[in-house]
Amino acid sequence: MSERPDWRLYLPAPIRTLPADLVAVLVMVGLTLLATLTPGLDETPLRVVVGLPFVLFAPGYALIAALFPERGPERDETDDANERLDGDIDDEDGIDGIERVALSFGTSIAVTPLLGLVLNFTPWGIRLVPILVAVGGFTLVSVGVAAARRNALPEDERFSVPYDEWLAAGKAELFEPATRTDAMLNVVLAVSVVLAMGSVGYAVAVPKDGESFSELYLLTENDDGELVADDYPEELVRGEPATLTVGVGNQEYETVNYTAVVLLQRVEVENNSTTVLEEDQLRTFSPRLAHNETWHEQHQIRPTMTGNRLRLTYLLYKGAQPASPSVENAYREVHLWVTVRNESATGQ
């Protein structure tokens, strides 16, 4: 009976021969893209669990792997002491595992902000998808260069992660302790690791929320096409459109269905008290926003009444609007004071 063929033989040679540590980096990039861009998964703790190593470790590790494809020095302390006495130290040796990991974190912390700085001067800006593409693309290119440089070295000089040695040493240390004291220390270590992982998992899964709030604001478009909080209209004409942009920002640590209501009100202000004499509801919006998401909507309003110092009011509600929306029952409120002239006055 023939043995089952190895499934890896069906893969292209460059992928089949890719070192295991570089494969792990590629898997990290893939998991991050999956957890960040897949609807439903992007709101789970998995996004944080895979996103942090993707930003803080993967690009640096790939770059260090490309810069140092050779195996690190393998000396014991006696050899190091003898070489220092003889003055014969080879400075061209590669870096060891601890140095490689430390440099990976340091390089990632340096590379990621630089990529963000470059994105800031591009039309795409510093947003989620451009950052994923930039960091992921840099990591993939570095992995490709690292694989090519390793393959160019003799096999006994290539860097490789000694997984088998680590597993064997760990198994012997855990299950074959030399003394009872070692066995007790192993138990304490295992319990400590479990508690630490549980604490980190709980902190990620149940993060401490900061202050929750929602933002409501109005913007206008300047001559350069940019949205600014300035130059609001003060005089309008009845029946003629005026363009504004309403913005809502969600910092509630949950997805919220909002309702924004636009009212034009004739009010009377007396003794610090405001009384609504007449009002018309002009527009209604119903955005649904995830936490940390911002929504802008450019729209036109057409005044339906005339008068001086009319109040153009925007009210924001979490959920549906009440039967009689007002400043008093709104979650957030902004307004403009406008003068609306009669349409016939334009011809005078």
Sign of CA dihedral 41, 46, 48, 50: negative
148-to-54, 144, 200, 348 alpha-carbon distances in Å = 22, 6, 37, 79
Output the pLDDT for position 77: 43
Among 161, 189, 224, give the residue marking a domain's end. Answer: 161
Tell whether 179 is covered by a domain: no
Same domain, 154 and 267: no
Tell whether 266 is covered by a domain: yes
Output the pLDDT for position 142: 94
Which is nearest to 232 in space by CA: 244, 224, 240? 244
Q: How many domains does the chain have?
A: 2
Tell whether 188 is covered by a domain: no
DSSP 3-state helix, strand, coil percentages of the chain (rounded to 5)? 45, 25, 30
Same domain, 39 and 133: yes
Same domain, 261 and 339: yes
- Residue 247 to residue 164: CA distance in whole angstroms: 56
Same domain, 221 and 151: no
- Residue 177 to residue 167: CA distance in whole angstroms: 15
Instruction: Please name the amino acid found at residue 74.
Output: E
Tell whether 259 is covered by a domain: yes
**DSSP H helix total and E strand total for the chain:** 9, 10
> Which CATH number do you get for residue 274?
2.60.40.10
164-to-11, 20, 74, 146, 190 alpha-carbon distances in Å = 24, 12, 17, 22, 20
Output the pLDDT for position 11: 56
Output the pLDDT for position 83: 47
Among 129, 161, 193, give the residue marking a domain's end. Answer: 161
Same domain, 223 and 317: yes
Same domain, 229 and 342: yes
Question: Mean pLDDT, 10 residues at a time, over the chain (348 residues)?
Answer: 53 68 91 88 80 90 92 56 47 68 90 90 85 93 92 86 72 72 74 68 56 91 87 91 94 93 92 89 94 93 92 95 93 94 61
Which is nearest to 276 in space by CA: 302, 304, 307, 310? 310
Tell whether 335 is covered by a domain: yes
Q: What DSSP letter does each residue of 170-218 carry, written as one string?
A: HHHHHHS-SSHHHHHHHHHHHHHHHHHHHHHHHHHHSPPP---EEEEEE
Tell whether 203 is covered by a domain: no
Output the pLDDT for position 202: 59
Place of tokens 């074959």: 176
Tell whether 30 is covered by a domain: yes
> In whole angstroms, what separates CA 43 from the centre of its chain?
11
Same domain, 116 and 252: no
Same domain, 11 and 107: yes
Among 122, 142, 161, give the residue marking a domain's end. Answer: 161
Say what the pTM is.
Answer: 0.52
Output the pLDDT for position 107: 92
Same domain, 12 and 151: yes
Same domain, 41 and 132: yes
DSSP single-letter state for residue 50: H
Domain that holds residue 71: 7-161
Same domain, 152 and 15: yes
Tell whether 78 is covered by a domain: yes
